[in-house]
Amino acid sequence: MSFRPPTGPTRMRKVVLYSLLSLDGVAENPDHYVLNWDDTIDDFLAQTIATQDAVLLGRRTYDDWAPYWPTATDEPFATFINKVRKFVATSRPPIVEWAATTVVTSPQPATEPATTTVVNSQQPVAATATNSQPLAFEPAGTISRPLTELVRDLKQQAGGDIGIHGSIRLARSLLAANLVDELRLVTTPVVADGGRHLFENDGHTRRWRLAEAVASPSGALLSRYQFEG
């Protein structure tokens, strides 16, 4: 079974969350429960990233990935993640340089803040300049605004899907804000028995519609869910 992303002129920009999960729902430390990999999982990942032209990352994931991926050869993800525009949500300046990175910080009270515009080859995003600590490298841009507001604006702009990879805390915050449109989950037949789960109990019920599901040769369940409210 092949996963086919929707196409056509009426297709809206979506936030798509891709995650590896254990059988008991753990999303942290996938090397503990992803014990086998196969071509069907590779194809699922390739289909997911093929429609994405922006990625949202949390600071912890950025710090783990920035030293590794620029020299990695693990395809199809290596070429994608190194070239795609990355928005990293952080309260501290990143130390490790990574191409196409835009830093997103929560706005701080300031006297007479100056408004600037961050521009790249894909689209402009309004930003507010602040007198924050200098960055350890020169990013593609710096945006000072709440992440949820930025994501809402990005969804209204022309472009491909907006991906979330890793970044459990960031994923939880956008799930809680109902800003995730689709889940792409790889659930392995291994019980992790410890670690952070993707979904947390926030007291709200949310409905998701199963759009596609297929088992891979190594026993993983590859599923696609669409948010219904």
**Per-residue pLDDT tens digits for 32-61:** 999 999 999 999 999 999 999 999 999 999
Statement: residue 7 has pLDDT above 70:
no
Burial class (CB in 10 A: 0-12, 13-18, 19+), 73: exposed
168-176 helix and 147-156 helix, angle to the nearest 10 degrees: 70
Statement: residue 4 has pLDDT above 60:
no
pTM beyond 0.85: the answer is no
CB 170 within 8 A of CB 164: yes
Beta bridge partners, 56, equal 87, 164
Q: What angle do CA 61, 62, 67 make, to 5 degrees?
A: 110
Strands 141-144 and 208-215, by their bridges, are unpaired
Residue 109 or 79, more confident:
79
Beta bridge partners, 78, equal none
- The percent helix, strand, coil of the chain (3-state, each to 5) is 20, 30, 50
pLDDT at 127: 36
Selecting from 3.40.430.10, 3.40.50.2300, 3.40.50.970, 1.10.357.10, what CATH number does the domain 15-91+147-227 have?
A: 3.40.430.10
CA dist list (Å): 53 to 46, 49, 81, 83, 115: 13, 8, 10, 9, 26
Please state the rounded mean pLDDT for residues 19-30: 97
Domain boundaries, the chain: 15-91+147-227
Please state the rounded mean pLDDT for residues 62-88: 96
Percent of the chain at pLDDT above 70?
A: 80
Report which listed range, 98-107, 121-130, 175-184, is most confident.
175-184
The whole-angstrom separation of Cα 151 and Cα 15 is 8
Least confident of 65-69, 94-98, 115-119, 153-157: 115-119
pLDDT, one tens digit per residue, over 156-215 is 999 999 999 999 999 999 999 999 999 999 999 999 989 999 998 888 899 999 999 999
Q: Which two tokens stand for residue 138?
A: 């020169």
In b/e form, how buried is each residue of 177-195, taking b as 16+ CB within 10 angstroms? eebbbbbbbbbbebebeeb
129 confidence band (pLDDT: 50, 70, 90): very low
Q: Which two tokens stand for residue 178?
A: 């109902």
In b/e form, how buried is each residue of 130-154, taking b as 16+ CB within 10 angstroms? eeeeeeeeebbbbbbbebeebbeeb
